[in-house]
């Protein structure tokens, strides 16, 4: 029971590590996912192909394999970065594939007439996408993007196994100090619950303000 009070700083460090990882990887995933989604609906064939390959490959890659390739493989390439950055890279790219698909299906929910109306006003592809379709698509993808980011927070646990400071990794330190392992895990589980519930609450708030009532 006193695992938490005795080792509050260890837990706090792990907790903040997970939060940081989630935030940075989440931002990367949102940006990359947006880019890939616009590639996938673009009129240029080679961009569409690239987007499709990106999504198909990453969605079917086990995250552990991706971590293995990035954290252990890339340094062999002569690319040496801090573990934390590698983890953000792996998590961000992996999650971007799911964000891309959420955005793309969001684009599909916007009625065709909207795009046609924009075009009849003389808007270009970029204008149609950015001024008319995406603003509406964003509102309908809030829930799926939210659950993708929750999945990201949970997936960040894998980073701990690849020596990044995060919540799950704290068990190793505490295990070596001889604390009761069950209680250690109870607090870790609570930490994750706090993070996932916070994201969930945030996205419910976003949905209430921006969501589309259909």
Touching other proteins, residues 89-118 (CB under 8 A): 102, 105-110, 112-116
Residue 163 Ramachandran class (φ > 0 left, ψ -120 to 50 alpha, else beta): left
165 is an interface residue for other proteins by CB under 8 A: no
197 is an interface residue for other proteins by CB under 8 A: yes
Measured CA distances, 51 to 7, 57, 72, 129, 153 (Å): 45, 10, 26, 17, 24
Which of 15, 171 has the CB closer to other proteins? Answer: 171
> x/- string (CB under 8 A) for other proteins, residues 124-163?
-x--xx---x------xx-xx-xxxxxx-xxxxxx-xx--
Is residue 184 within 8 Å of residue 171, measured between CB atoms? yes
Which of these, 20, 154, 14, 159, lies nearest to 98 by C-alpha position? 154
> x/- string (CB under 8 A) for other proteins, residues 51-70?
-----xx-xxxxxxx--xx-
As measured in angstroms, the least distance from the Cβ of 8 to other proteins is 20
203 is an interface residue for other proteins by CB under 8 A: yes
35 is an interface residue for other proteins by CB under 8 A: no
Q: Rounded CA gap, 133 and 114, in Å? A: 7
């Amino acid at each position: 029971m006193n695992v938490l009070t005795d080792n509050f700083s260890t837990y706090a460090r792990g907790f903040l590590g997970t939060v940081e990882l989630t935030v940075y990887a989440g931002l990367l995933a949102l940006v990359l996912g947006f880019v890939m989604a616009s590639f996938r609906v673009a009129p240029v064939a080679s961009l569409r192909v690239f987007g499709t390959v990106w999504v198909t490959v990453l969605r079917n890659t086990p995250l552990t394999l991706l971590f293995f390739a990035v954290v252990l493989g890339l340094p062999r390439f002569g690319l040496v970065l801090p573990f934390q950055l590698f983890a953000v890279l792996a998590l961000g790219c992996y999650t971007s594939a799911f964000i891309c698909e959420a955005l793309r299906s969001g684009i599909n929910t916007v009625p065709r007439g909207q795009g046609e109306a924009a075009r009849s006003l003389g808007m270009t592809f970029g204008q149609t996408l950015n001024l008319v379709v995406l603003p509406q698509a964003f509102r309908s993808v809030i829930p799926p993007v939210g659950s993708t980011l929750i999945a990201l927070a949970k997936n960040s646990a894998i980073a701990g196994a690849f020596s990044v400071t995060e919540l799950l990794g704290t068990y190793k330190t505490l295990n070596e100090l001889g604390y009761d392992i069950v209680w250690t895990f109870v607090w870790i589980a609570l930490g994750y619950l706090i993070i996932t519930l916070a994201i969930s609450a945030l996205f419910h708030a976003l949905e209430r303000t921006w969501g589309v009532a259909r």
